[in-house]
Amino acid sequence: MASKVFPLIEKEKIRQVTGLEMIPSENYVSSDVLKALGSILTNKYSEGFPGRRYYGGNEVIDEIENYAVDLAKKLFNVPVALVQSYSGSPANMAVTMAVCSPGDTVMGLALSSGGHLTHGANLSFSSIFYKAVNYNVGKDWKIDFEELEALALKHKPKLIWAGTTAYPYKLDYKKFRKIADKVGATLVADIAHIAGLIVGGVHESPAPFADIITTTTHKTLRGPRGAMVMVTERGLKKDPEIKSKIERAIIPGLQGGPHNHQTAAIAVSLEEALQPSFKKYAAQVAKNAAVLAKELDTTSEVHLVLMPLTSYGYGMGYQAQYALEEAGITVNKNTIPGEPASPFYPSGIRLGTPALTTRGMKEKDMIKIAGWIKRALEEIRGLDLPQEQDLRKDFLKETKKKLHTNKNLKIIRAEIKTFAEKFPVPGIN
């Protein structure tokens, strides 16, 4: 029987090759990572940890997982690494369960200030089962450490998250550490977005300051979709039992058998990250982001750009995402600090350079891409979000139709297709 899935995969392949992937949490993996991810390792059940499995026949699986662990420890200079978490959010939940009891206070950067759902956002486990306190950024869009310290002293959190998802600046882990020490909190650095930059020496490592580190493996690290939890020397000294607590939270706390094909693919990507060429890649990611940000009249110290759209109109995030997608550029709508519209109808977009850099694009290409972005955004002027909430759904539906037939966006799309096809996509061409 001919599957309907494979033609759809081919369709997605064309989209990836002919367009520009600029969501900062997306990247391209190598052919070797894809080989491991699509391997026969997916056939094996292996609940438990190396040497402590609930099933037989895991001798080879143990070797693979131990190898991935050793690579992670070497790459991030930590004594403990766990590679079984299915993805970033479960990894963060496992750490929270290991450190806190239900009802304990956790602190993290507010979602509206560029934080992550699992750091205390409404409707997340981190606010349903724990008392969540959010700190924010100031008017300069940078973390307000004075507010963070005041909130920590007031609420005495058990855990403080140092991590972001839409924050264009570097993090000062030393400041986080001082505040955590004042209240006796466990400091957890979520480096999901910047793991590759840390490995590449572009961003300071949290290992000397944090107790625990979590990360996804599929963003700037260029691995498969997965996650790791690491414990630092400081973390082991604070709680010698923390490794076993996190292990129990992962299994049986949250999941059963690990995805062995994913573990193997993580190992392959960590091997690649240990190569000298990866440092050049990470440096280029940051250079590209800085140039892109400058061309779009904002700033970036990392891999992502948070672009406000208030100069184009009111509540323009959806409209911008639609327009850019029609032009062949994939971004995501995003709230901006001091959001003037609504978290559900945001006023900004989030862009990044990891995937573009993986394809070999450099500073001069960012200037060209920024030009296309600005041309595409001109097509949303006058498409302001209605103030009346009950009109918004129909408005966006009609706006999407209108942008789909926009001739100027089609012209840009054709230009981008010609441009993008010059840059190979790993694992595809």
Q: How many CB atoms lie within 10 A of CB 236?
A: 17
Task: Mention every residue, 6+ apart, whose C-beta is less than 8 A from residue 58.
Answer: 44, 46, 50
What are the strands, taking DSSP E only, across 110-158? 131-135
Yes or no: say if 411 and 3 are a contact pair by the CB < 8 Å rule. no
CA distances from 58 to 64, 257, 261 (A): 10, 12, 13
* 264: nearest Cα among 231, 209, 224, 237: 224
Q: Which amino acid is at 368?
A: K
DSSP-based three-state secondary structure for 143: strand
Does the annotation mark 220 as catalytic?
no
CA 345, 347, 352: angle at the middle one, nearest 5?
Answer: 110
Does the annotation mark 47 as catalytic?
yes
Task: Mention every residue, 6+ apart, whose C-beta is less than 8 A from residue 318.
Answer: 333, 345, 346, 385, 396, 399
Q: Which of 26, 32, 47, 239 is catalytic?
A: 47
Q: Which of 158, 177, 219, 222 is catalytic?
A: 219
Q: Which of 13, 32, 44, 45 is catalytic?
A: 45
The H-or-E segment that residue 306 falls in is strand 304-308
Does the annotation mark 219 as catalytic?
yes
Q: The tokens of 62 are what?
A: 């143990």
Q: Which of 65, 96, 173, 190 is catalytic?
A: 190
Q: Which of 175, 225, 294, 417 is catalytic?
A: 225
Yes or no: say if 272 and 30 are a contact pair by the CB < 8 Å rule. yes
DSSP-based three-state secondary structure for 227: strand
Does the annotation mark 190 as catalytic?
yes
Does the annotation mark 216 as catalytic?
yes
Q: Which of 186, 214, 216, 358 is catalytic?
A: 216
Catalogue the active-site residues. Answer: 45, 47, 190, 216, 219, 225
